[in-house]
Amino acid sequence: MTGPVTGSLTGSLKRGQVLAYGSGNLSVNLLSQAFATFATFYYVDHLGVDPSLIGVAMVIHGIVNAVLNPFVGHVSDRTRTRWGRRVPYIAIGMAPLAAAFTMIWIPLVDGATARFWYFLVVVLVYDVLFVVVVLNYVALFPEMFTTIAERAAAASWRQMFAIVGMIVGVAAAPLLYGAIGWAAMGVSFGVVALAFFALSLRGSAERAHAERESFGFLAALRYTLANRAFVTYVTGSFLLQLTFALLQAGIPFFTKYALGEADSANTVILGAVFVTAIPMVYVWSRVTIRIGPRRAVLAAIVVYGAALVPFLFVGNLALAAVTGAAVGVGIAGMLVLLEILLAEVIDDDEHRTGTRREGMYFGMNGFIVRWAVSLQAVVITVVLSRSGYRSGAAVQPESVVTGVRLTMGVVPLAVLALAFGCYLLYPLRPGTRPRDESAPAPVANGRPGA
- Cα-flanking dihedrals φ and ψ of residue 447, to 5°? -130, 130
Angle at 333 between CA 327 and CA 335, to 5 degrees: 100
Which residue intervals of the chain bear CATH 1.20.1250.20? 15-204, 213-428
Long-range contacts of 310-313 (CB under 8 A, 24+ apart): 310/409, 311/254, 311/405, 311/408, 311/409, 312/405, 312/406, 312/408, 312/409, 312/410, 313/405
- As assigned by CATH, the class of the 15-204 domain is mainly alpha
Residue 77's nearest CA partner among 200, 225, 222, 220 is: 220
Three-state SS annotation for 140-173: HHHHHCCCHHHHHHHHHHHHHHHHHHHHHHHHHH
- In CATH terms, the superfamily for domain 213-428 is MFS general substrate transporter like domains (1.20.1250.20)
pLDDT at 324: 93
pTM of the predicted model as reported, rounded to 2 decimal places:
0.84
Label residues 112-121 b or e (16+ Cβ within 10 Å = b): eeebbebbbe
* φ/ψ bin of 98: left (φ > 0), alpha (ψ from -120 to 50), beta (otherwise): alpha
- As a whole number, mean pLDDT of residues 278-298 equals 93
Measure the CA–CA gap between 370 and 354, rounded to whole angstroms: 29
Residue pLDDT, tens place only, 32-86 = 989 988 888 888 878 888 888 888 888 888 888 888 999 999 999 888 888 888 9
Sequence letter at residue 399: S
pLDDT at 208: 61
Measure the CA–CA gap between 251 and 405, rounded to whole angstroms: 10
Residue 444 host element (H or E): strand 443-444
Measure the CA–CA gap between 89 and 81, rounded to whole angstroms: 11
Q: Is the pLDDT of residue 195 over 90?
A: yes
Residue pLDDT, tens place only, 6-33 = 434 444 567 888 999 999 999 999 999 8
Q: What is the DSSP letter of 309?
A: G
Q: How confident is the model at residue 382 (pLDDT cuts 50, 70, 90)?
A: confident
Q: Which residues pair with 169 in a beta bridge?
A: none
Residue 329 near residue 280, CB atoms below 8 Å: yes
Point out the least confidently predicted range of 76-85, 115-124, 129-138.
76-85
- The per-residue pLDDT of the chain, averaged, comes to 86
* Summary count for the chain: helices (H), strands (E): 17, 2
- Is the Cα torsion angle 300, 305, 309, 310 positive or negative in sign? positive
Is 414 exposed, middle or buried (CB count within 10 Å of its CB: 0-12, 13-18, 19+)?
exposed
Measure the CA–CA gap between 423 and 236, rounded to whole angstroms: 7
Measure the CA–CA gap between 60 and 375, rounded to whole angstroms: 16
